[in-house]
Structure 1
Amino acid sequence: MSILAPGLARIRIKDLRLRTYIGIKDEEIHNQQDILINVTILYPADDAVAVNEITQALNYRTITKALIAHVEGNRFALLERLTQELLDIVMQHQQVHYAEVEVDKPHALRFAESVSITLSAQRN
């Protein structure tokens, strides 16, 4: 991400650590694994800045709670599917102009710290 357009705010949810069922191997299907989620959101914050009221801001707590509930309440075969579903949750909020979601699966590959998938969406 580079320079923000005037009036846009960048929210970053960093290193949200959750556990879920993710994968296609038997041990992955039957045992929860750690995942790490990072989200970047751009939204117009002029009104929030002007009036200093939560009703004018994008509530990142609400978004985070929805992400947690989705991850903890479901099972996923592919990182791609999980990442897309989380991105869809973020984009449900009409204030969001752009969002990027990255999901890391630590120790998914031997000799690698993690494997991650990143997807993004932009409202026209």
Structure 2
Amino acid sequence: MSVSQLAKIRIKNLRLRTFIGINEEEVNNKQDVVVNVEIHYLAERATHSVEIEDALNYKPITKSVIRHVEENRFALLECLTAELLDLVVCDDRVVFAEVEVDKPNALRFADSVSIALCYHKD
């Protein structure tokens, strides 16, 4: 009998620049955002294989996140975070995912403000 193996992929502190916010300065100037992604997927085939097709390949996921952030404009962190979560859960093997987006220097006395959203497969 084989035990299901759950893999956890973490993409940590992906630093990107985009237009995010609602005031004039934010609309006209790119700002830094920091993206963290955690993806859990069923990895039983990958743990007994040498084929990349048997694993959830994090490189194209990361590239799609980068492209989406850098090529679009966002009014709210919630919208950006939700759109990124949609990108990372497109593979049927994903059973859980969390995306957190930080906006450094959004508040005067804080390192950053962040929004995190999760997905759970039923």
Equivalent residue, structure 1, for 2:47:
49
1:105 aligns with 2:119: no
In 2: Cα distance, 1:7 partner to 1:61 partner: 21
Q: Which amino acid aligns with 1:14?
A: K
For 2:94, what is the secondary structure of its paired residue? Answer: coil
Cα distance, 1:102 vs. partner? 0.3
TM-score relative to the length of structure 1:
0.94
Write the deviation string for residues 26-61 of structure 1: whole angstroms up to 9, x where unpaired.
000000000000000000111011112111000100
Report matched runs for 1:82-101 at 5 Å. 82-101=80-99
In 1: Cα distance, 2:52 partner to 2:83 partner: 26
Cα distance, 1:107 vs. partner? 0.4
In structure 2, the gaps of 5 or more residues are: none
- What's the % identity of the aligned pairs? 59
Write the deviation string for residues 56-110 of structure 1: whole angstroms up to 9, x where unpaired.
0001001000001100110000000000000000111112110000000000001
Equivalent residue, structure 1, for 2:5:
7
In 1: Cα distance, 2:91 partner to 2:46 partner: 16
Q: Give the CA RMSD over aligned residues.
A: 1.1
Deviating beyond 6 angstroms after TM superposition, the runs of 4 or more aligned structure 1 residues are none
Tell me whether 85-94 or 98-107 shows the greater mean CA deviation: 85-94
In 2: Cα distance, 1:6 partner to 1:15 partner: 29
In structure 1, the gaps of 5 or more residues are: none
In 1: Cα distance, 2:80 partner to 2:53 partner: 29
In 2: Cα distance, 1:94 partner to 1:58 partner: 10
